Structure 1
Amino acid sequence: MNHRLFKESPFKTLISFHKLIETLEEIALSDVDYRSNYAKSLLKEIEHIPEFRTGIEDLAIITDNKKLIKNLLADLFPTALTNNEIKAVTIPFQNITFNYTKRFKKIVKNAGNFDLTIRDFNEDQFYVLSCILILNAYYKQNFDYNKPLFYDIPDANGVIYHYRILYNADFIEIYPLAEAPDLSSEDIDELMDNFGNVALWKEKFPLESWVLKGFGIISLFDATKESAISNLKSNLLRSKKDPEENDNTLENIFRSFFKIPDLRIGISLYNDEEKTFTKLPFEKAKMGSFILQNKTEVACCNAFLGCSLNKLLETQELFTISNVEAFAQIPGNENFAQILLEQNIKSCIFTPIAKEGKLLGVIELVSGTARQLNSINANNLNLILPNIVNTLERYNTDLQNQIEAVIQREYTAIHSSVYWKFKAEAQKYLQTNASNTNYNFKEIVFKEVYPLYGQIDINKSSEHRNNTVKEDLKNQLESILRIFEKSKSIRKIPLLEQQKFEIHSFLGELTKELKADTEQQIQNYIDKEIHPLLNNSIIDAEDQNLVASYFENLDIKTGLFYQARKQFDEAMAIVNKKMADVLDQEQNEAQSIFPHYYERFKTDGVEHNLYIGASITPAQPFNVMYLNNLRLWQLQTLCKMELEHHRLKKVLPYNLEVSSLILVFSSPISIRFRMDEKRFDVDGTYNARYEVVKKRIDKAHIKGTNERITQKEKITIVYSHQYEEVEYLKYIKFLQFKNILEPAIEQFEVEELQGVYGLKAIRIKVMNTDENLDTTYTYKELLSALD
């Protein structure tokens, strides 16, 4: 456990046992022999440590005299209670503790490396409470600051226990030093009205201007399960069985707590994404909202109808009105005050419920009596807010889980850029009635979006795959022939020549183009004819090593040689993963250009689709400049992927070449989420041309030749219109200027495809240099360079 003292204090703290020593001196003079002798013995032991009486500032003295201190405090820490009481010596409100009871030691030990700090207790609170201690002890005031203090301590299993803290200050005395100002009654009254003004408290009680001498005793009791507020946690927002009874129980808890018989409670949830207050979405949740009245949701900017939301929304501070009728007389407050008065609200508190800085909702407490709710008793909410926060957070988590479940069930995993629309539809479903099996989910459509398609493809991947299959099969058959030649016992088998003939026939087939069933035929032959032969008991012991060596080279799953194919598969996986990683990493930055839909697929290479437009991100104004910027980003990203592949080639287990392709399509299209396929697709026959071009273009040839439009280490840009050519030539010249692309530019027409005519293409080669890999440019930079 770590000890941490607050840096600033009105006290100069001296840990002293002087009051206890004075008591021992009185006992030493008593007539009771056993008590007198005991006291004299202790006093003699502590004579050589004058700091025990004058005051200890060096904590090492305490550490070095633990046993003596334990004996000195024996009357206050009886041995018979050490396994029951949770008690130690301390200085009030500070974190230094020592002389623990055994139960306290066990709790601390189970907590591990843990800071024993008071819950929600900061340096400012420490300073002010220390000053209140002075006012009560020295100036004989009777300020009642009854905020319970707690330690939240984990056990060995990580379960958090909550312990209420009680202090005994009987062995402490407080007195001023020369620099301490003498406070007048006016000073004390000023402090009384300015609890939160820490600077004022420090002015009246300067740093270390008072002496706190002595020691305190801290006692803890386990309040984890005994807090009455647990009733609040079990009732808040419960929507099962009898919701009206639950709401009434919750209201009664608050009425008892505030001692206000006509107190009513409401709640409004906060939607951070849409900046709105919303009601509880479940039909059975009867708790209403005084902000929303009968509305389902209301924009935050309108919720208070002119009243300042800064405290509630931005700084997450509570908003109180002690007299609504007086509040209504202030210009700008009339509308909101009228709404409150119409609901017979004469005083109210609106308290933000936040977790780790995130606003979850607002608890609304209202009364039909003026001045019943105010900024003073509003502070009592601090006693129960942690439980409300935990309950509301759990409720919010449950709600989000249900929304996620609806989305996953009805739509599948969704990209973040379009998630908002799916979430809105799921929330509508839950608000209508989650048990309504006849609810028709709305198909999600985004209109007027611009598509961008690109791919980096592994060249001749099918040919490579077939070649590695043939190589493995050839090696396996030749390995079998070598066993036949070297094994004396196998050579005695009558059918051996027949087996050799069939193996040579298969080897002959492998010199030709691989047929669809060749691999399966050879595998069946080896499994049924060769392996039973090699496992036959007639094989001599001296030949077993040959056979064992052969079987060690077989793949466990297929029963075939898998060396060449393994190298190819590993190379393919490495290339695909690296290309996808580069694309995903760059895509994170691309979203900052303008939020857009993004999806990618791994095949024999990596393909990606982008869709950008106002319908996908309606909260931001869309301009075609963002499309241009994204096109430049796409070209740069493919350059990076080409360069990354060039780096990889040196370490790949199998040599693979790649080529890249971009399809330019300038007409906006509509995309619809297909409920049956759980994916987006173009919507309508008018937009289908884009998909047709995309599916047929990568295998196309240059018009009038047999040359494919894609080539290794080159990027091919396919387009239809002259203005698209002009646009991309600007990008290319810019990247040539940045030494990313080589100077040569190829331009040609693409052969006519079925249903697709008039396509043209530009082809450029990426410079095989590594220094450009981390370079990115914006569309604005491009325009500046071209100008």
Structure 2
Amino acid sequence: MYLAKSYTDQSSIQRKTFEIKNNDFRPAAMESALSFRPFVVHLKNMLKDQPSVKSEFYRYVISKFENEMTKGSAVMIRDSARYKELMELVYMILTPLATNEKEHFWALSTPIPDKIFFSTDGFYNFLTQQTSSGPDITISPVELYKNQQTQYLYRLILDRLYKIPTHAKNEVLYQYTDVTTNLPKSYSIYTDTRFIDIQPKGNLPQLDYKAMEPYLLEGADTAPLEELLPLRSFRFEGFSVITMIDVTAAQATEIIRGVLVNHEYHTCKNESVIQALKTLAGNDKIDFGLIPSFQINGKFVVAKAECSQSMVVEAAKKYGMTQQTFDTLVTEYFANPEMVVFNHLSKDSLSEHPLLKLLIAEGISSYALVPVFYNKTMAGILEVFSKDDVLLDDAIFSRLQTALPLIAQLLKYSTEEFDAKIETIIRDKFTPLQPSVQWKFNQAAWHYLEKSIGNTKIADIETVTFEKVHPLYGAIDIRNSTFERNRAVKEDIKNQLTLLTGTLSSLKKMIKMETAETLVCACDRWSSEINEYLSSADEIALNRFLDAEVNPFLNRIKIEYPVAKDIVDFYFAALDETAGMAFENRRKLESSLQLINTSVAGYIENAQKSLKSAYPFYFEKFRTDGIEYDMYIGQSMAPEKPFDEIYLKNLRLWQLTSMAEIARLTEKLLPQMEKPLRTTQMIFIHSNAININFRNDERRFDVEGAYNIRYEIIKKRIDKALVRDSRERLTQPGKIALVYFNDHEAEEYVEYISDLQEMGLLDNNLEYLELEELQGVIGLKALRIGVKHL
């Protein structure tokens, strides 16, 4: 914020005076006076308005100032050293008593900031340490050049004399590279202007707030203001208080957040994220890598092209580790993720472990694997490593904690993009584009072809965009599908253990072996544990027990004792996923899920096809445990056909009607299900049009712009919404939930609900609900209405 040099050299650092260079801007041309009078007035007002335990102290300070300033209110800057005791009283009142002056960056300056005449040791030392040539420094890039300084003064004038709020903060950000750590540091510099009095010289001209508003924005041209209100027509009296706060950690996390918002985490190969993590760690000799948790068919894989920032992935390629060995290491780690730290590695610390051999070969001295979780699900791995002898201790990992939620989101986004790439490749090979948008792609391809002809450079294909389209979102979810899946797994395992115990007991009668007795006891222990609780770790451990101990034993028995063959074969036949009793509950559940999803998907496909004759729209559905879909309609999708709001209303009515029909359909399916499952129906009402782009890298449509992204975020979070002041889930079987923000958004749907009630589709139990706050989303409301079943 300041360009400063030593003005007078007093005996105490706190009384050093700094002059602020202002290039061609000359605040001396305006009338300005250093004075403590506004501060004394402030104290008197506090005594009058807010009597407190400090009142006696304030009276003492007021008396001290009035006695010392007998010759008038103005103070010459060159004489400021004489008032050291008064300035220390100002510091005592404006800062907490326990403040460490060597760590607190605080200073007093003239009302128009051109000289600093009093500061803490910390402030002075900070300035002098920025250059090897003493306190003649440039703080960049937030210097107060002429326009910035002028804006600062006019904001004061308009606020004090015209009561016009400016909304701009008296705060700037100063960033520099620390010469010790070679890492960026960030400070927020705040100017307190409470103790500045502004007096006009003559009558104030009349001003129109609306006319002034454009000139109050940051960076606006101040020339019109200078004509209306010349600065020479005002007198500034008092002093400014300057405070610097270290916001390095906050800025580092903000950099990572910016990468997420702007979808830059692939284009920049995470370089800015890595640099931000170094800043948080406070050591340039520490480096970082990221490994997302990509899966293909339920197995973890390492896409080397997507993990170019991972040290261990690059080392595995460099030293020729086989893909199978590396995938095995990754799978084992993801199966039992925990923080692993290796310090003081060297060539002398030989190891046969493949990972440690890689690290030592690469010259790594310190290495750590940090599992990163997103909503309690493994999102990936953060690598922390150094080739120098840096100790990776709790202090470093504690500083990184603030960034881990953002790193988790980044890894989650990377995984989602990877999954989307796989999905869109499949969709591209097997599913043609919908006719409603095909024309736009044909147009873009033709433009690309035209630019490519006779051009030696590879042409860029234009982004396919549809502007101002109206989004409709719906979700049919299967209630408690995760719980039912876990219960089915648990029941199947219990049945398998019961069968295994019976098998081993039969073998004991035929063959006298201690191993059979040991395994029976182990089965009994597992059966009792499963009756209590079955975690994913327990399931992994049980499968390891069955694969490593039970199955080899039974196979050996079958070979060595032919009389036992039928008993053992009967057990192994039960393990067949397609027909065996050990998978019976899971098969029944999957059969019920498949019945619901197939029926709902078929209904939606048939219903939405009949709508396309009215007006073109884009429709895309997604398969989860249930089915979600997005619809977009607007003029940009059919430029040759005039768009009318009636088409949007028809889609909205269809959406509500189809949800009622789907609720009826799934209820009718209950007698056919081997595992009875019920569905919930939800609609998200968004009245504002949005822009969508076709992302060429992912081959799918995505919303455009920060405001529109909020729409996507809300969609992903509302399925878990709760009714305000309760633990009740918004979505309920047999009902339709309609989520919205503003009451006017719901009015149209209330009319539709009334129509469908008259038709006998919906019950007369409409509820108006407020929802609990979601992460980053407040103010949501909902309608909920029951469906009449046949």
Q: Under TM normalisation by the shorter chain, which class is it?
A: 0.3 to 0.5
Find the structure with the greater CA-based Rg.
1
* Structure richer in helix, relative to its length: 2
TM-score between both structures, scaled by the size of structure 1: 0.44
